[in-house]
Each structure stands twice: as C-alpha cells, then as structure tokens.
Structure 1
C-alpha cells in the first residue's frame, strides 16, 4: 500500500511539474519581474538574455544559433543605452551542457573586436524555458 501511494504521489508531482514547465515555455519575457537592463551611474547591468527574438520567437536550431541570438539581444540593449561591445567589462555565460563550450565560444568571441571582457562560464545548469545558453553582462562607459 505504501509503495502504491508513493508511486501515485510521484506520478502526481511529475505531472504537475511537467505541466508547470510546459506553461512556463509560453510566458513572454516581457511579463517576467525584471528589467532587461539597469543603469547605475556609468555602469549598465544587462540581465541574463536568452535566445528569444524581439518578436518573441524562440531560437533553438543549434548552440551557435542560440548564442548568436543572445548576443544580438545584448547588442540591441547596449545600443539602446548608448553603449558598444567595447564597453562590456564583464560577462557571465550559462550553458545547459558544458560540452557546448566550444560552439558557444566561437560565436561569443566574434562580437568583441578590441579585446575581451572578464568572463565566467558556468555549465550544467537548467536555463529558463529549456534554452541551452543564457548570458548576462556589465558595461561601463566613462563620462566625457
């Protein structure tokens, strides 16, 4: 009897979790309780960006495609706030699978023409909406 109850409980929890994860995938990013970026003095803090286009389409073809979309999202935010890739001083990359490091790194590196920011890369993490790549960064621009 205990085994049956435990089995039913596990089944119920897994069904609830699956339904919750499915429902999360349909939530637009604009409804989440954080800003894409916040400015504090000359410093811009860019929230973790995932591979979703400005039109709300998920990009899931490959790690390279996901990374490219994430970097385009960051680039758009930087430009809107008057910053460039040269102003990025730190970034954090989150990978669902650390084995995707090489593919991500190739795309990531192509966005920096005048040196790279400090960076941490974390692998083996679950990323929101089941994406494989998420990147946040900090940009700094001295006042002139």
Structure 2
C-alpha cells in the first residue's frame, strides 16, 4: 500500500503531527477540519459559520487530492454541543446532495482551539 500526503494552502495547515489528508489508491481520507479561516487562522463566529468554514476546508483539501464533495462516501461530525445538530444540518445540507454520504455525529467534551464543530470525510476518486 502506498500513501501520499495531501497539502493545500486553501485550508488551514496541520497544527500537529498529521496531514490535511492522505490518499491511497482511489481513496482520500481527510483529517478533521475546524471552522478555521486559512488566511487568518481564526475560528469563524458561531456554530453555523464554523460548520460552513470546516466544510469549505474539507472541500479545498478534496480538490487538492483530485476529488470533490460528490465523491464523499462518509463523514464524521464532531459537535461541542449536540443541541447544535439542527443548525449544523442546515449548513451541511447546502454542501451535499442526494445520495448523501453516510455520516456519524458525535458530541465531544472539547475540540482543538475550543471549536464548536469539526468535520472529517472519506472520499473515493473516480
């Protein structure tokens, strides 16, 4: 199995010993993306804007890897507060179309930089 690191300046750089994404064969695995603006390094304001920015970051990483959101087969959404589930769904539904990717949503005690939402994706390129 060979794997290749994916890196783009259109999404925040890794803040630890990990890659923005890894490709292996036709598969792309993104690391979790916070709602960080890649130009400023700051979190967006509010859970919906953080979700939007996180998904923009996922999209930029996928594009760098030669994939699109249409190639996503699975996402994981980490929420600081499960009460934000509906608000995040409003934003999420504007990025994906049917058939929607499989998804897990998990409430966590804390996210890096005290983010409100983090999203990761698995995609299969054609």
More helix by share: 1
Aligned to 2:45: 61
Aligned to 2:23: 39
Unaligned runs of 5+ in 2: 1-11
Count of residues paired in the alignment? 115
The secondary structure found in structure 1 opposite 2:32 is strand
Could you say if the C-alpha distance between residues 31 and 100 of structure 1 is closer, same or farther in structure 2, counting changes exceeding 3 Å?
closer
Q: Report the alpha carbon displacement of residue 113 of structure 1 after superposing the two structures with TM.
A: 2.6
| TM-score, normalised with respect to structure 2 | 0.85
Structure 1 stretches of 4+ with a deviation exceeding 3 A read: 28-31
Unaligned runs of 5+ in 1: 1-27
Which among 56, 61, 83 is matched to residue 77 of structure 1?
A: 61
Could you say if the C-alpha distance between residues 70 and 112 of structure 1 is closer, same or farther in structure 2, counting changes exceeding 3 Å?
same
| TM-score, normalised with respect to structure 1 | 0.75
- For residues 72 and 56 of structure 2, the distance between their equivalents in structure 1, rounded to whole angstroms, comes to 14
More strand by share: 2
Larger Rg: 1
